[in-house]
Amino acid sequence: MKRSIALIFMLLISIAIFSKTIHITSNLVKPKEKEIFYEGGVVVKIEEDNLKLSTDNMVVRKVKGSWREMEATGTVVVELEYGVATSTYLQYDITDGVGKMAKDVEVAFVDEKSSDTVYISCDEMSFNLKEEKFEGTSEGTVVINKGSMEMYAKEFEYDRKEGVVTLRGDVFIKDPEKDFKMWAEEAKVFTEKDEAIALKVKMVIEVKD
């Protein structure tokens, strides 16, 4: 009997820890057995994730008996406690706090280590909100700006908590304040002091009179 009571208590704690409350408003709602369609003026708030989503259209899907997957299209705006990300497509796993944004992704996040704002433009970006990690690519060029530093590459990873930006593929970094330009195969930028480590580098340093 004591063992049964202990097991029930543990299950209740687990449910309380892992459950999330989602507040949704929309102009039109079409609920079905495993999908709910929202159209027009969609606003979603997930307090546990400190996330607010505004979009034109959205579908929430049930996975293994739980409302878990969100897919948003149109003008997608994701507001977090440390910044904003926009795109025209979003896929988000409510349970795991991971997702993907695509098509004209624009990001403005306040950096954890430096308090500067990091601006990112790319075609696609995957993210993990729990770990505050972001990675993305572009068919053309990923563009990242922070302070006076400009960074360009084919793909990037950004660890906001650790303050590290990793760049890969046709990397180009320039900083007018520090008077240098750098081309590399791969580079890491440490955001606290804007210091960098790079591989296979060509560099130009401007010496002023």
Q: What is the DSSP string of 53-110?
A: EEEEEEEEEEETTEEEEEEEEEEEEEEETTEEEEEEEEEEETTTTEEEEEEEEEEEEE
Three-state secondary-structure class, residue 112:
coil
- 184 and 136, same structural domain? yes
* Average pLDDT for 83-97: 96
Q: Is residue 63 predicted with pLDDT exceeding 50?
A: yes
Three-state secondary-structure class, residue 176:
coil
DSSP 26: -
On whether residue 142 sits in a domain, the answer given is: yes
What pLDDT was estimated at residue 11? 30
Q: Are the C-beta atoms of residues 105 and 126 closer than 8 Å to each other? A: no
- Average pLDDT, rounded, for the chain: 89
Binning pLDDT at 50, 70 and 90, where does residue 205 land?
A: confident
Binning pLDDT at 50, 70 and 90, where does residue 29 land?
A: very high
Q: Is residue 57 predicted with pLDDT exceeding 80?
A: yes
* Average pLDDT for 99-113: 96
Q: Is residue 12 predicted with pLDDT exceeding 70?
A: no
Return the CATH number at 181.
2.60.450.10
- 54 and 90, same structural domain? yes
Give the up-direction half-sphere exposure of residue 85: CA atoms within 13 A in the CB hemisphere: 26
- 130 and 105, same structural domain? no
* Average pLDDT for 22-28: 92
Q: Output the pTM of the full model.
A: 0.86
Q: How far is CA 4 from CA 13, 15, 16, 17, in A?
A: 14, 17, 19, 20
What percent of the chain stands above pLDDT 70?
90
* Average pLDDT for 126-153: 97
Q: Is residue 175 predicted with pLDDT exceeding 70?
A: yes
What pLDDT was estimated at residue 3? 43
What pLDDT was estimated at residue 209? 64
What percent of the chain stands above pLDDT 90?
75
* Average pLDDT for 24-38: 93
How many Å apart are CA 167 and CA 181, to the nearest integer?
Answer: 15
- 204 and 141, same structural domain? yes
Range of the domain at 134: 125-208
- 130 and 74, same structural domain? no
- List the beta bridge partners of residue 46: 22, 51
The length of the chain, given as a count of residues = 209
Query: Could you report the per-residue pLDDT of 111-129, keeping only the tens digit for each?
Result: 999 989 999 999 999 999 9
- 33 and 101, same structural domain? yes
On whether residue 9 sits in a domain, the answer given is: no
The tally of domains found in the chain comes to 2
- 96 and 26, same structural domain? yes
Longest dimension (CA), the chain: 85
